[in-house]
Chain A
């Protein structure tokens, strides 16, 4: 298959809300806006009333530094806020308080990197900024005669994660986003399950073509589709000739021109005189570093080096904290990592993905899964039987314990085996002779025993017993 993604360079700008904070970034309004009636969480600051002034939420700085550390960035010892000046109805001051990387602007963190299954990605910078309000339309954006504005979200704390154009394919982008999700979730600073808590814009270019920004990618599931469309579009016109911003329409599944990209000159960035700079000591950074929980990358290392999982399986498991936690919980009941990791990474995840079910909604709890694996460890059933039980439980919803019980009732106990083997040998006298002379021929006998027990016998036990007969 030819490489459809040759020359493709993708950079992402991910906006993460700092969902663990109680208040907005620059004012004391509650940040718990979801589900509220419009315009209920407001003050002079987040609505930009004349005479209002911003004051930085200390927890926001803390969260941003932690995210920076978790993405292996260098934390700046001095950092400041800039104004990005542009007019838009969702922006109460018609400027956004953000961070900048030129003209004396210093973002909170720089030069990080993140590993993924499909390759590493460099993090250019992480900057703190405020969310604008929300626009709603009566109908669609083009037909609505009014725009309805809700400022509840205005001023919510955001961290923007900007990557180098190291991403080489839409799949890679998806993988990267999942990794970021897993990291920020692990450190507890962004709950990506909350609607709108993580948004991404993409910058796509092909070889020497110009960079095109794709906005309005509403969910990570849409990312691959949007990027695939844009790449195909650019390849068709043989690389973009001008820098522009395009809007992803997830209904028609196309990107459409929004505007020729506003150069940075349009934004007239300058330092915000209302906010003194931040001086961040090494001690403070160290204190925050120590407070971080085990990051997914560390967990991966532990899974591969200590628990000896394969990297591929391990990466699948660490991708979501909930999955990794589940896995470790199963291990606490029955330490059978190879079996459990295989079931989780392949069978369970496969089933959930195919049926669009969230891991959190998995009806089989860790203890039960471990119970099933224990029955294999204790040689009560063999792996393929156990796997069949698992799959049956997933698809039918029947309890694993019940399935296991009925299985064991039907199963062949080791006590029955010698008799069954005797019978098979007496039915196949020549086979025993063959096996004595030609060891691989034992498999015929084993096969007969398995057939007789309808596959329920423990394979290795059978083999052992027959081998004893050969002596």
Chain B
């Protein structure tokens, strides 16, 4: 197998919007190569044959409106202003 793969923990923490502490990043950077090496086992599998296992298709619903439960939904919103969901600055 080639050199141990490195995942740039910082890059993925940004992509997944999870801020990590330096310590956390260190631990992950240390653990990821072994996990990835295990995942690389898959490269040995022969998947050249095209196999379709899809069973279900065409599941739809009718275009009929139901009552809104907007007030119940708003009840669980942490920060509101009038009926808006209050979010932070954009920039």
Contacts and interface: CB of A to CB of B under 8 A. Distances in A.
Contacts of A146: 81, 86-89
Contacts of A149: 84-87
A146 B17 CA distance: 20
Contacts of B59: 55-56, 275-276
B89 to A, nearest CB: 6
B64 A23 contact: yes
A403 B90 CA distance: 59
A276 B57 contact: yes
A43 B57 CA distance: 25
Interface string A6-38: 000000000000000111000011110000011
A40 B60 contact: no
B49 interface: no
B61 A87 contact: no
Interface string A250-277: 0000000000000000101000000111
Contacts, number: 115
Interface string A279-320: 100000000000000000000000000000000000000000
A58 B88 CA distance: 37
A224 to B, nearest CB: 28
B51 to A, nearest CB: 13
B81 A279 contact: no
Contacts of B82: 38
Nearest to B17: A87
Contacts of B66: 23, 28-29, 43
A35 B74 CA distance: 19
Interface string B50-86: 0000101111111111101110011010000111111
A151 B85 contact: yes
A286 to B, nearest CB: 17
A243 interface: no
A39 B75 CA distance: 12
A452 interface: no
A417 interface: no
A359 interface: no
Given A58-B60, A145-B89, A41 B54 contact: no
B57 A39 contact: no
Given A56-B59, A58-B61, A148 B86 contact: yes
A359 B83 CA distance: 37
A238 to B, nearest CB: 30
B68 A135 contact: no
A49 B90 contact: no
Contacts of B68: 29-30, 40-43
A137 interface: yes
Nearest to A62: B63
Nearest to A86: B15
A137 B87 CA distance: 10
B1 interface: no
B2 interface: no
A185 B76 CA distance: 40
A307 to B, nearest CB: 38
* Shortest beta-carbon contacts, A-B, top 8: A148-B84, A28-B66, A147-B87, A58-B60, A42-B70, A59-B63, A276-B56, A149-B85
Interface of A: 21-23, 28-31, 37-44, 47, 49, 55-61, 87, 89, 135-137, 141-142, 144-151, 266, 268, 275-279
Interface of B: 15, 17, 54, 56-66, 68-70, 73-74, 76, 81-91
Given A141-B91, A278-B57, A278-B58, 19 more contacts: A23-B63, A28-B66, A29-B66, A29-B68, A38-B83, A39-B85, A40-B83, A43-B69, A44-B73, A49-B76, A59-B63, A87-B17, A142-B91, A144-B89, A148-B81, A275-B59, A276-B57, A276-B58, A277-B54
